[in-house]
Chains A and B, each alone.
Chain A
């Protein structure tokens, strides 16, 4: 108790409290910008803490790291663009809510869930102090494999009525995730001879393309995000907060998922978020179908992605083993300040540890309050003309992707996954199922490879694994009965079965077939999973092809001109993307976006010259401040400067 009082007094110092607030404000700002996340924020802040005392440094860093997953909800809900990789699942129901005029409600529910989840994570961290070390050691590699397999079964609830398509999408996600060096042999698998793919296709870019670009493309064809009459901001926000409180069981359950899985190094925020979404999607409650704006689809992932920070601190502090990339940097920063994680942390540094827990809790409260305060204003963004929102958002999506490696391939990959996202959305294929396969694929392979080397097949008899398999079995039975009742689910069967999207099945089959053939030249261990997954995908694609042909479904013959006119908004959007990419490559990351925004705003006549020029300048200033002043980076020389 003495230490708690000491910690509270230390944090009550106005300077330290101010630094905590500063950390929260920086974290919130970074969370809003697509492609940036906690790692970016810590890279910015760690050098600034060298001259600070440990308590102030902890307040600043933990304050920042705790809230990026609170504000990343803003672009996810309003624009359909995940602010960080941790908010991709929030897009699925949050954005349709905004489209239906319920942006304030979605944001209110998200922040309330984030707040409760964050506090829950901090509480779990506080409660686990005495049992921290045994807790982290509880699960072995076999158990982690069991969790991964359990996670994959969630594809059933993420693809609902169109199970076959959902399954193919998930398998395709796994296939894409296997690009890179395989974990056992270290051989190059489908890397096209490029070092870029050695560590796989970058998750942030995949999600920006799959969700961000495809939603922006959809928005480009509309006058604004929402044409529905929205609830007045404040009322909608309170309505959302009430919804989150009404679903308190879900908030705590997904908060628990976040905290517990967050404490397991190697699981990762993307996996946690999709598992939480899957857990929420098991029961649609009294809302619309998942994927159409069900508030539970917002509450589940938002609670989990904030509670996971508390969980991730457990192995970081107990063993010095970071539970996430953010924690790895925090750990380095702790070392700079002489804080040594391990049993000593519980004794000699206990007051600092309590400061950490209180900072985490306070940051969540402050972050949620700031966001709630801004919600009524932010919700108005839903009625801003798409002609303004689309080009300015597109700039930050593209810059967010390009800053990850600063290679042309960043833009190519973003474009490809944008194309996949758009095709999936238009053809009723489940993007969540693809995302689930993509985030779980690497864990599936790595944990299997490790488990098999460590214990052969005996992991199948481990008690926790048996419990998970029993849960999978029970969920399977429940799902079967659900189908019989004709339940609908995420991003599915709204469209009647059509034969004209068979081109997509054909394309997938050709691509997967090519990859399987390519894998024949790989060593056995590197080829095993690709061939199993690829083979299954091909079989299922054939089944889907046959079923669709024989189903008597509606065949809509489309001639080229008609197709072109139907897809005009998407084609126009992709052209905008190409122009922006070329401008950035030709003139750099400051001038390129500014010229693009100016041109786009003037062409669309969304704004008069002064307004367009102001937004254009602001875009350039933000890009310059972020990437030249705050976190300076070496950008490739613009093509024009070479000429």
Chain B
């Protein structure tokens, strides 16, 4: 009996959770099925080829609080081997601006490895809504813009635009997700959705059903012809700067981060792998086949960009905060 129990104990120890060195876990701060999940799974398929030892990359969903749950876990991760990386909300990069009292996530401590897209966000109206231009939306007090929670970009973007540009439209918040807003637009209950990205916009037949009325980015991207560039409508320089800060998260879509404790050499290797992915034909082909709009920005550039956002003056920060409240 004693021998058997010893053997049993040994077997169980062997079977205990192993943190394999030839495996990297890419955690996603959102549920399976959404854009963040799809982009992460695409990365997991191709990134390993560009790392020493060609490790397997497995995807794990850790949804909760708009990826803040995962953001907090990554901040607390003590391992230095870089075997745990994460895709978190682009909005977390601006937490010091919009949630200055919170210490959940410090974008200056984590290591940004890359952002998977720098595409602009857009405001779109349904073709049956009668709203064909952004100017029409701004001046129509009966127009409605759909939003999820008040901390999501579906709310903060149209709220910032309304405050900065003197809009009169109504924001209807409380939808369960972006797709529910689109359904409400199809039903004619909602006219406009803002903060929609290229991944959603180019999916299915969306472009034939919506008017793209405004481009929300820091620089015009020229991805779609026609929409007005929202920042150009700002009445003065300070308003433009504050509005840019409120829209800044659109520049770093699907950022992938490593924990603050990660070894600098590991971080450098991971950044190089993402850089190699930029020209990886198999990755690009798979991305197109899967209708995913990926335009990688290297990690060091992402960090420089975030540092620029966080260097905004206190007045501009306060104005940006007031815009989205």
A residues whose Cβ falls under 8 Å from a Cβ of B: 39, 42-43, 46-47, 50, 136-137, 140-141, 181, 183-186, 195-196, 198-199, 265-266, 315, 319-322, 325, 328-332, 335-336, 338, 340-344, 405, 446, 449-450, 453-455, 588-591, 594-595, 598, 609-610, 613, 616-617, 620-621, 624, 628, 632-635
Contacts and interface: CB of A to CB of B under 8 A. Distances in A.
Contacts of A598: 8
Interface stretch (B25-33, B113-121, B237-245, B300-308): B25-33
A340 B38 CA distance: 15
- Tell which of B44, B150, B182 has the most Cβ of chain A within 10 Å: B150
Contacts of B13: 591
A195 B68 contact: yes
A453 B174 contact: yes
A265 B204 contact: no
B130 interface: no
Q: Please list the 10 inter-chain residue pairs (A to B) with the smallest Cβ-Cβ separation, ordered nearest first.
A: A328-B33, A342-B204, A342-B205, A183-B174, A186-B150, A320-B204, A329-B33, A198-B65, A186-B149, A449-B174
A319 B17 contact: no
Contact of A332 (B17, B32, B72): B32
Nearest to A198: B65
Given A141-B189, A336-B290, A613-B4, A321 B33 contact: no
Given A454-B144, A620-B15, A632-B58, A137 B187 contact: yes
A47 B17 contact: no
Nearest to A450: B174
Given A141-B189, A620-B11, 14 more contacts: A184-B173, A195-B64, A195-B72, A199-B63, A329-B32, A335-B203, A340-B203, A342-B206, A449-B174, A616-B8, A632-B25, A632-B58, A634-B62, A635-B17
Contacts of A328: 31-34
Contacts of B34: 328, 332
A328 B313 CA distance: 41
Nearest to A141: B189
Contacts of A181: 149
Contacts of B44: 47
Size band of the B side of the interface?
35 or more
Interface string B73-89: 00000000000100000
Contact of A319 (B62, B204, B290): B204
B180 A265 contact: yes
B143 interface: no
Interface string B147-172: 00111000000000000000000101
Given A322-B33, A335-B38, A613-B4, A450 B175 contact: yes
A410 to B, nearest CB: 12
A184 B58 CA distance: 36
Nearest to A610: B4
Contacts of B278: none
B277 to A, nearest CB: 17
Contacts of B290: 335-336, 338
B141 to A, nearest CB: 14
Interface in B61-115: 61-65, 68-69, 72, 84, 104
B210 to A, nearest CB: 12
Contact of B12 (A446, A620, A628): A620
A331 B33 contact: yes
Main secondary structure of the interface of B (DSSP, over half): mixed
Contacts of B176: 183, 266, 446
B182 A319 contact: yes
Contacts of B11: 617, 620
B179 A321 contact: yes
Given A141-B184, A319-B182, A632-B60, A332 B12 contact: no
Contacts of B18: 628
A612 B100 CA distance: 56
B37 interface: yes
A43 B61 contact: yes
A446 B180 CA distance: 12
Contact of B289 (A321, A336, A589): A336
A452 to B, nearest CB: 9
Contacts of A590: 12, 15-17
Contacts of A454: 144, 172, 184, 189-190
B150 A199 contact: no
Interface string B224-261: 00000000000000000000000000000000000000
A47 B151 CA distance: 32
B272 interface: no
Contacts of A455: 189
Nearest to A453: B172
Contact of A43 (B17, B32, B151): B32
A50 B8 contact: no
Contacts of A315: 183
A137 B186 contact: yes
B132 interface: no
B182 A613 contact: no
Contacts of B45: 47, 50
Contacts of A450: 172, 174-175, 184
Contact of A609 (B1, B16, B203, B292): B1
B50 interface: no
Contact of A198 (B37, B61, B64, B205): B64
A17 to B, nearest CB: 26
- Tell which of B23, B172, B204 has the most Cβ of chain A within 10 Å: B204
B291 interface: yes
B12 A591 contact: yes
Given A183-B149, A183-B174, A624-B15, A405 B64 contact: yes
A136 B182 CA distance: 12
Contacts of A140: 187, 189
A199 B33 contact: no
24 contacts: A47-B45, A141-B187, A198-B64, A199-B65, A315-B183, A319-B204, A320-B179, A328-B31, A335-B290, A335-B292, A340-B205, A342-B204, A342-B206, A446-B176, A449-B173, A453-B170, A454-B190, A589-B17, A595-B12, A609-B1, A617-B11, A628-B18, A633-B60, A634-B84
Nearest to B15: A624
Contacts of B15: 590, 620-621, 624, 628
A614 to B, nearest CB: 10
B33 A332 contact: yes
A129 to B, nearest CB: 16
A185 B32 contact: no
B41 interface: yes
A628 B12 CA distance: 13
A559 B65 CA distance: 46
Contacts of A340: 203-205, 291
Nearest to A191: B65
Interface in B49-65: 58-65
Contact of B16 (A344, A453, A588): A588
Contacts of B65: 195, 198-199
Nearest to A407: B69
Contacts of B150: 184-186
Contacts of A43: 32, 61
Nearest to A637: B17
- Tell which of A325, A335, A341 has the most Cβ of chain B within 10 Å: A335
A185 B155 CA distance: 11
